[in-house]
Amino acid sequence: MPIISYKQALNDAFAEEMTRDESVFLIGEEVAEYNGAYKVTEGLWKRFGSKRVIDTPISEAAFLGLGVGAAMMGLRPVVELMFWSFAYVGFDQIINNAGCVRYMSGGLINVPMVIRGPANGGTAVGATHSHTPENFLANTPGLKVVSPSTPYDAKGLMISSIRDNDTVCFMESTLLYGNEGEVPEGSYTIPLGVADIKREGTDLSLIAHGPAVLTSLAAAEILAAEHGISVEVVDLRSIRPLDEETILNSVAKTHRALLVDENKPFCGVSAQIAALIAEKAFDELDAPVTRVTALDAPAIYSFPLEKIQLPTADRVVAKALSLF
């Protein structure tokens, strides 16, 4: 199987979907002539032209709203946010319009749009550029939220998201763009709402999404090699819809759950997973549900500290050991 980067996997997904469906177009800041701030859309403007790959001025509210309006009319916009952190200036368009129009119209109007871009800390750009708003978005019934951790998942989930009839908020990571992995040639889909067991184990479930999946896998290695603990790593892949079944099955098998989350802890994604386990798998637990999340402060700039503000394999290992 070909080995390609996460970024290339996304790029292939766009190219394949744009070839398949005339109604798919890409829009955002620097996506066309500049080839994308992170080169995720590289070459697509040259290939598909200015009608399908559209540069905008720095007007997130207007071009997010443009996407919603165009989607209401049946087009399939893929709107790039240079950073998900910039979504906040256009939040009204995402939450009130993309998120609520279907409901408020009694189902008469669909908004088949993808909003995508990186949503991660860890790159020493300070608080304004390091947000992970998946919890805000997932708190909005009407929106879907996905966060792939591998090139394979990135492509399959992107194709599903483009074909989805609702708005999908697609959270990528600048730190994953360069990662390589096996990706089959041609189109394939990964359904939204299906988690993936990235490593099987019997003693402890680490449950994560996005870059925290890789942190969890690294921690699992250490726990196995140095402590003889068999760890299962559940990659949520999709935060809303959420694959409750896979989470609960894993907890029923290992009886211990540790949630690893780059989102902030307060009302964050991990809080939702913890509530789910408490409600539906309480009797399975041999230890309290615990979490390793971003430390609860705005993202710090100073890079040695930023590294420890986000979940690290060491923090995960230490927390895991406390459960036995």
Partner 1 sequence: MHEGEQAAQASINKALIPEQKIAALRDMLRIRRFEQLSLKFYQQGKMGGFLHLYIGQESVAVAAASLMSGQDEMITAYRDHGHALAVGMSMEECMAELFGKATGCSKGKGGSMHFFAPDKHYWGGHGIVGGQVPLGLGLAFALKYKNIPGCALAFLGDGAINQGPVSESLNLASLFDLPLVIIIENNGYSMGTSLARSSSIKNYLAERAEGYNMAWDTANGSDFYELRAKLHHIMERARKESKPCILEVATYRYYGHSVADANAKKYRTTEEIEAYKANHDPISLWQEQLLKEKILTEADIEKLDEAAKEEAAASVAFAEASPWPDPASIFEDVYSQIDQGTHFFS
Beta-strand relationship, 238-240 and 143-146: antiparallel
The residues, any chain, with a CB within 8 Å of residue 92's CB and separated by 6 or more, are 61
Residue 265 · residue 296 · CB < 8 Å? yes
Element (H, E) at 221: helix 211-227
- Give the residues across from 53 on adjacent strands: 26
Token pair recorded at residue 103? 């409901």
Of 193, 211, 268, 311, the one binding partner 1 by CB under 8 A: 193
To the query of whether residue 131 is one of the catalytic residues in this protein, the response is no
Q: Is 284 in the site for partner 1 (CB under 8 A)?
A: no
Of 32, 37, 101, 162, the one binding partner 1 by CB under 8 A: 101
Q: Is 35 in the site for partner 1 (CB under 8 A)?
A: no
Residue 198 · residue 213 · CB < 8 Å? yes
Of 21, 47, 105, 275, the one binding partner 1 by CB under 8 A: 105
Q: Is 126 in the site for partner 1 (CB under 8 A)?
A: no
The residues, any chain, with a CB within 8 Å of residue 275's CB and separated by 6 or more, are none
Q: Is 49 in the site for partner 1 (CB under 8 A)?
A: no
Of 14, 63, 86, 152, the one binding partner 1 by CB under 8 A: 63
Q: Is 56 in the site for partner 1 (CB under 8 A)?
A: yes
Q: Is 104 in the site for partner 1 (CB under 8 A)?
A: yes
To the query of whether residue 60 is one of the catalytic residues in this protein, the response is yes
Of 15, 39, 110, 218, the one binding partner 1 by CB under 8 A: 110
Q: Is 93 in the site for partner 1 (CB under 8 A)?
A: yes
Edge to edge, the sheet with strand 238-240 lists 53-55, 24-28, 76-80, 114-118, 167-172, 143-146, 238-240
- Catalytic residue numbers read 60, 129
Q: Report the interface residues with partner 1, using CB under 8 A.
A: 25, 51, 56-57, 59, 61-75, 90, 92-93, 96-97, 101-110, 141-142, 144, 164-166, 191, 193, 241-245
